Amino acid sequence: MMKPVIAFRALLLFPLLSILAACGGSSPLGNPPAVINTGVTNTQALSFAYFQRCINPIFNEQLQSSVNASTNTCAAAGCHASATGAGGALRIVPLPTAQLIDVTNAANTPAVIRASDMYKNFYSAQGEVVIAAPLLSKLLNKPLLRETLHGGGLIFGSTSDPHVQLITYWINNPAPIGQDEFSTATYNMFSPADPVNGTCKTQ
């Protein structure tokens, strides 16, 4: 014979299960229906032209670190060098291997550029970015020691550092929706709008 307390709990549970079944149209104890994720249609890419002219040089520059007051490059062995680096997901092919590519030369098709060492650097750096959200991007948060650890210590003293301004501008100015990383629309990130000879804008 069922104990009174158990019987009372069973009576309370039955209406609850009935309500849940009515909401979902199936047994509340069963698996949910298949989840279908809608496709992403508004993805954007960061500018390759701006990266190679304005961001990649930062990785090869001698920068002061708060760790033992040392000076090194991001692309150095033991840091973010593609082959020997210990610096997490960011991997950089250093100079002179990663050469500038003339994006205005028709021979340098997207397929050619994507096979280059410079593109490897671009792809790795973009992977450390939340597009149009510098405050959420590891590429800035780590060297600024902004709520995250960085084995290389503090590299940029503040957001007014010229390097930070370049990276911030790159992150905040993706190619238009529907255009890839080689979009000529991103040439206006240079002054004049020339990806080969123009200077890098920061605002």
Q: Compute the distance between CA of residue 97 and CA of residue 102 in angstroms, rounded to an integer.
A: 15
3-state DSSP call for residue 28? coil
Residue type at position 135: L
What are the residue ranges spanned by the domains of the chain?
Answer: 1-36, 48-200
Q: How far apart are CA 148 and CA 128, in angstroms?
A: 13
- Strand-strand pairing, 190-191 and 199-200: antiparallel
Is residue 15 predicted with pLDDT exceeding 70? no
pLDDT of residue 19: 42
Asked whether 116 and 108 are in contact (CB, 8 A), the reply is no
Here the tokens at position 72 are 């090194």
Q: Examine the pLDDT at 22 and tell me if it is beyond 90.
A: no
**% of the chain at pLDDT higher than 70:** 77
Question: Does the structure show a pLDDT above 50 at 41?
Answer: no
In the prediction, which pLDDT does 43 show? 79
47 has a pLDDT exceeding 50: yes
Distance of CA 69 to the CA centre of its chain: 28
Average pLDDT over residues 7-14: 48
Residue-wise pLDDT tens digits, 140-190: 999 999 988 787 888 899 999 999 999 999 999 999 999 999 999 999 999
pTM over 0.85: no
Locate 86 and state its tokens: 């210990």
pLDDT averaged over the chain? 83
